Amino acid sequence: MNRKFGLKSVVALMLIASALTCVIVLAVVGTKLGYGTPLFDELKTYLAMRRDIESVYIGEYDSTAVNEAALRATVEALDDRWSYYMTPAEYDEYVNLSNNQYAGIGVVVVEDEETGGIRIRSVYTDSPAERAGLTDGDVIIAVDGADVTDMDYFDAINLIGGPIGQTVDFTVLGSDGATRHVTAEYDIVRTNPVSYKMLDGDVGYIRIANFDGSTGDAFVAAAEALVDDGAQSFVFDVRYNGGGRVSELVKMLDYLLPECEIFVAVDHTGAESVTWSDESSVTLPAVVLVNDYSFSAAEYFAAGLWEYDYAQVVGVQTTGKNRSQITLRLPDGGALHISSGEYLTPNRVSLTEQGGLTPDVELALTEEQDALLYVGKLDTADDDQLQKALEILNPA
């Protein structure tokens, strides 16, 4: 027998369904916010404070800036130097840098002591700067008409950055003493994290700037090119290398070392996850150059090679970092970069607890040498740490 529902019955059923939906949604949201936990009470306090600010504060304020400051302060309160909050713009830049690319014009610059301007030390190949006609040795003395020669250097270089597609006008003093105007357009600039050359004594020198995207493949290509050219030993330079991705580190250690444990990750429960290399290897004597700005994957790279007697280490004590981080996107478009695990060397050494890696030969550069090394202008003959490495590999 068919029954017909009256209008009131239909409306009642719809209201019941809506109520059930609301209950489910509230339950899900409550679960996400940690309802019934201390975290939920803390969130209520924060929301109450923001409502009070909104309703009674007499001045004007930027709501986004207030929220970002709160998020940043929250992570800073963890007292973990490796964890931090990123705004949406900072996250976009982080993604680019992690892939060895950034938005800019593609130059490496230093302060020009003579003019106070910005001297271009090098121009990246196929970069906006190269396309605009900027060359090594040019000195930027004005940006969009603003004289930078009397500015603080860091304020001056901040004027160079801009969003992709925007143009910037430079007043440039060339090496010939002539002044000219150059217009460049900001674009994605791709950088090569690995550089290499053959040194006297058939020593293959490989400089590793970071362990971010494409570094592993670039390192293997550099090593193979040097071996093909007759390299009998290696110098791996990870000074001023702040680390990067585990995947790139593992690729490089796997290439060099025979079958063995090459990476030991430890989660918050203490459980280990071990990565092994395969049987193939490159068996050549090596030295790794480190300094106090070598940390994370850089010092792990040196420690792993040292523990397997593959390489000696020259330089100064490294930073000492054995925490790994993950990056989690947030609803505002920013991200939380937070320590979520630890790693140990193959011999189960915590570089943090040990206070970094102690070189076989502890040798510091002078302040002048170190400053030149940082900007890539320290000549091989004047690099005491590199000369010590060559002495080890090719004893008289």
The predicted model scores a pTM of 0.70
The 10s digit of each residue's pLDDT in 89-100 is: 888 777 766 666
| Residue 320 near residue 351 (C-beta atoms within 8 A) | yes
Q: Per the structure block, which two tokens stand in for 183?
A: 């217009």
| Residue 235 near residue 389 (C-beta atoms within 8 A) | yes
Selection from 283, 197, 276, 192 nearest residue 236 by Cα: 197
The dihedral built from the CA positions of residue 153, 155, 158 and 160, taken in this order, carries a sign that is negative
Q: What residues of the chain score a pLDDT lower than 50?
A: 1, 25-29
The 10s digit of each residue's pLDDT in 288-303 is: 999 999 989 999 999 9
Rounded Cα distance, 390 and 395, in Å? 8
CB count in 10 Å sphere of residue 236: 27
Q: Per the structure block, which two tokens stand in for 89?
A: 């713009």
pLDDT the model gives residue 89? 81
The 10s digit of each residue's pLDDT in 142-172 is: 999 999 898 888 788 778 877 778 899 999 9
